[in-house]
Chains A and B, each alone.
Chain A
């Protein structure tokens, strides 16, 4: 039962805050939510110990839906993959909850914020703990709902309300496929429970489905449908459009939901379903290519953005792309490893940028997220600056730090994966160069040079309070050291401990490569990390006039990237507007009002017209009636005689 408490405690915190927060708890809401999530973390550590000792926990609480031969339970599966996710989710949540106490202080929706945040943690924990696909779907939709609430947290702003709605609806496109995939799993396997489905996966190899006369491999269809869901939730091409807009939410939300945990749900799901995916080369290659292309696509956009949070958001999309690249290459544990290190350094990047925004906000800076109006902040915010540097070193893959080990693991696995793998390795390495550039560009624009705001603002610039900086320091430790559990065997005997830990669930990723090749890949990674740094340094420190010059020279490219390849505009023109216009002008205006109403009302109208004619017979003149009666009688008698 103690395992059930892990998600239950945040749910209770949610219920208390949402029901009593407005009137009674108010600005003490964190006293409900923070202890609950920390308790969950402690219980998660306990679960980790149990699983590490060799236990696999599978408990069914009760039958959820029973209908005919369909049966699905509310139940949890806690294995090695689950506990890794449990630790990531609860540890980062705990830190971000504490950070939020400082960051959200004084907001009129303070209780609401902690309520939603708690509901999110509950949903995310259900998502990772579910032992069947439908409960996974429950968690999946519930985290999406929390994301909707929190993106639109400041809903008086039209942009925030729009962004929340956009996130929800775009995700529904992915969930459409995901839901159908789940239904197809049930119809194929007769069950939705992981432990029934996965062992049976081998037996359906070769089974096909007839789609419009084409015989298609069933497992491939299932995997691609499931992947649709992952593409939505983890913001991969072509459903990536909601994540940058999601930055309308408060910064702790961006860190927790839109960087560290929820958006990685797609990666977790594909890893969870690895017994299915490995049976479909088509699906695996699709996952890898979508991931690789997204990684470089999003990185190019991040090069030119000026909103500090948007840069990090595109960086997240790009890093998620790496994870899918790894999944598609069959390196499931490498993907989870990167998910885990990314959670720390990306949460840190967001929270540190939150610290910057917070400081600028209090200094009455008018454009608090625009990096063009920042600069020189390192003088005023030394701690934030330091942790930002550490996070950047980590994400860009400087040897020794967390991001280095996990990213290198992915690139190495890709390199070993045949021709496609080599191509994706090239994409990934190029994206790493871009990553290094935009990450250092962000640092230089924000912290170096001269402050570009008003003098009045500059006088009020302060480092954030400890309630904000202490969680940053904890996360910084993670950003530096989290990768040490995955040091490759190349450097350490019994290396890649996280891979070995996850192997019972995710399998061993195999590959053939020589030490020389491994060093080559490693060298390339380090070279691009330093190269990107160097270019950024030249452009933003040594010759600050250079960016403008390059921008002028490559105007069309800059506009393409700055406008995010016009994907949003494309969707608006081809999907949103036609649907809205079509609904109003064609369906409501013509089909419903004219055609259907016309036909259905036409019949009575015809009868009405007919009866108006008929009414003229009823004149009320007796002699006329007499005449008609006589005529009628005559006809009847005549007919009778005639028929005889």
Chain B
């Protein structure tokens, strides 16, 4: 196959990275002391990150092809292989996952006191599952990782979550499961149409008839839209985020919901290009609704975590808007914004977790005026607030600007409407900041001193601060990985798969109907 470049390193680097966390989970099964478990988990996640560094340095940016590929027969009779590899899009998410993995362990050092071993095992299993999703090039493998990830997340929310954790966990589980099952049906149909193979690259070059494309697109859409989450299937997200422990929220916001958008990029667009063009419009409109709806609803939030959760709905609206603008600025902005959202929202959840450990309240009104008490915390929170509202110089600006540019290119009105989101974005984030940090110090902290960030917490946040400015001032480091992959994707979508003529007819009929 010419679409792939086999792994040239002397060892199977991707397999190593993917399975290192789960091996670590086996290891910590034999540990007894909580302290040992914490340090061992931290060690494993850092080791996985370091193990991945050759991906960064050896990555070939001159090709869009899959790299570091490992391909072994698994169930030959059914055309199923152990087939993994990465391109310029997935490599970014590998690193984001690995980084947030380390940070979510670090932030849990004090806050998790019960069932320490099970907690850390869940985190490690989840890390393997998420990494697996991003490297899989075989549908069965992909589906296994995709569903595996549900279990540890379900446990994280349901066992270590807040007061309403069981409701949130079940809601999360059911929503994602229903979406996934439809995708499974889609995979089976694609399998039979595509010549009985589950090779994702091979299936991407199959020319599906338009009506099959439409059905399959919708089946996959069900899974991905719930995961993103897109309006109107977003309501599991605020509950899950709010109830999850900090580490859970960070992983959930940081990488887990990225898998939906990633699914659009990896499957929906290359496999069903004609359906993609057909559905681009409704998705753009849903994205605009998500941006504005998510932002407006943030104005009414009284719960710290819920506000950030709803802001995710708005920000992910920007992501899907960029992706389905279907031009290079939109797509690159969308992909970059996925990374940015992982960094920013991940950081904001980390910060909420840090202050929650001290105050044990998520109610915004219980704070107020704490900037004098915790100046470093306030300063760092300001950095992420600014990144969240897309101030130039931060990573949020680069992503949002490219997305709005792409959207404007796709359609002027869409571009204009999306830009409205940044006004409301500023309003709710600055409102939150004022209510928490400014004005008179809340009387409940007058007698209980509120300690500022300690060294461990600063170390946890530092990489994210660096990334905010790095991407803000020199995004090319990250954009350069995706340039060719995105160009290739656009070509695939534009080339279509034979249904474009029919699609034009459909659209004509559709327009005529109004």
Cβ-closest chain B residue relative to A72: B401
B211 in the interface, Cβ–Cβ < 8 Å? no
**Neighbour of A66 across the interface among B393, B424, B476, CB < 8 A:** B476
User: Smallest CB–CB gap between B434 and chain A, Å?
Assistant: 5
CB distance B299 to A161 under 8 Å?
A: no
B408-465 residues at the A interface, CB under 8 angstroms: 408-409, 412, 415-416, 419-420, 422-424, 426-427, 430-431, 434, 437-441
Q: Is the interface of B mostly helix, strand, loop or mixed?
A: helix
B125 in the interface, Cβ–Cβ < 8 Å? no
B194 in the interface, Cβ–Cβ < 8 Å? no
Given contacts A179-B419, A186-B405, contact A68 B327 (CB under 8 A): yes
B280 in the interface, Cβ–Cβ < 8 Å? no
CB distance A596 to B232 under 8 Å?
A: yes
Task: Find the residue from B234, B235, B479 having the highest chain A CB count within 10 A.
Answer: B235
CB distance A70 to B329 under 8 Å?
A: yes
B375 in the interface, Cβ–Cβ < 8 Å? yes
B300 in the interface, Cβ–Cβ < 8 Å? yes
CB distance A583 to B300 under 8 Å?
A: yes
Chain A, 21-54, contact with B by CB distance < 8 Å: what is the 0/1 string? 0100000000000000000000000000000000
A165 in the interface, Cβ–Cβ < 8 Å? yes
Given contacts A142-B392, A176-B420, A588-B297, contact A156 B438 (CB under 8 A): yes
CB distance B438 to A152 under 8 Å?
A: yes
Chain B, 377-418, contact with A by CB distance < 8 Å: what is the 0/1 string? 001000000100001110000100110110011001001100
CB distance B423 to A169 under 8 Å?
A: yes
B353 in the interface, Cβ–Cβ < 8 Å? no
CB distance B299 to A580 under 8 Å?
A: yes
User: Smallest CB–CB gap between A390 and chain B, Å?
Assistant: 38
B residues within 8 A CB of A180?
408, 415-416, 419
CB distance A165 to B329 under 8 Å?
A: no
- How many interface residues does A have (CB within 8 Å)? 54
Cβ-closest chain A residue relative to B232: A596
B174 in the interface, Cβ–Cβ < 8 Å? yes
A residues within 8 A CB of B419?
176, 179-180
A587 in the interface, Cβ–Cβ < 8 Å? yes
B residues within 8 A CB of A74?
473
B332 in the interface, Cβ–Cβ < 8 Å? yes
Chain A, 155-191, contact with B by CB distance < 8 Å: what is the 0/1 string? 1111001100100110011001001100110110000
Task: Find the residue from A158, A183, A186 having the highest chain B CB count within 10 A.
Answer: A183
B148-188 residues at the A interface, CB under 8 angstroms: 174-175
Cβ-closest chain B residue relative to A597: B235
CB distance A141 to B300 under 8 Å?
A: no
Chain B interface size, as a band, is: 35 or more
**Neighbour of B391 across the interface among A66, A145, A169, A209, CB < 8 A:** A145
A60-100 residues at the B interface, CB under 8 angstroms: 62-70, 74
Report the separation of the CA atoms of residues A69 and B332 in the bound assembly, to the nearest whole angstrom.
12
CB distance A156 to B235 under 8 Å?
A: no
A367 in the interface, Cβ–Cβ < 8 Å? no
CB distance A141 to B391 under 8 Å?
A: yes
Task: Find the residue from B299, B372, B392 having the highest chain A CB count within 10 A.
Answer: B392
A366 in the interface, Cβ–Cβ < 8 Å? no
CB distance B299 to A187 under 8 Å?
A: no
Report the separation of the CA atoms of residues A356 and B437 in the bound assembly, to the nearest whole angstrom.
31
A198-216 residues at the B interface, CB under 8 angstroms: 209, 211
B residues within 8 A CB of A145?
386, 391
B residues within 8 A CB of A643?
none
B residues within 8 A CB of A582?
296
B260-316 residues at the A interface, CB under 8 angstroms: 293, 296-301
Cβ-closest chain B residue relative to A589: B300
A residues within 8 A CB of B137?
none
Given contacts A152-B438, A161-B438, A588-B297, contact A142 B393 (CB under 8 A): yes
A residues within 8 A CB of B480?
66
Report the separation of the CA atoms of residues A599 and B473 in the bound assembly, to the nearest whole angstrom.
44
**Neighbour of A183 across the interface among B293, B301, B404, CB < 8 A:** B404
Instruction: Give 3 nearest A-B pairs by CB, closest first.
Output: A68-B328, A584-B300, A161-B438
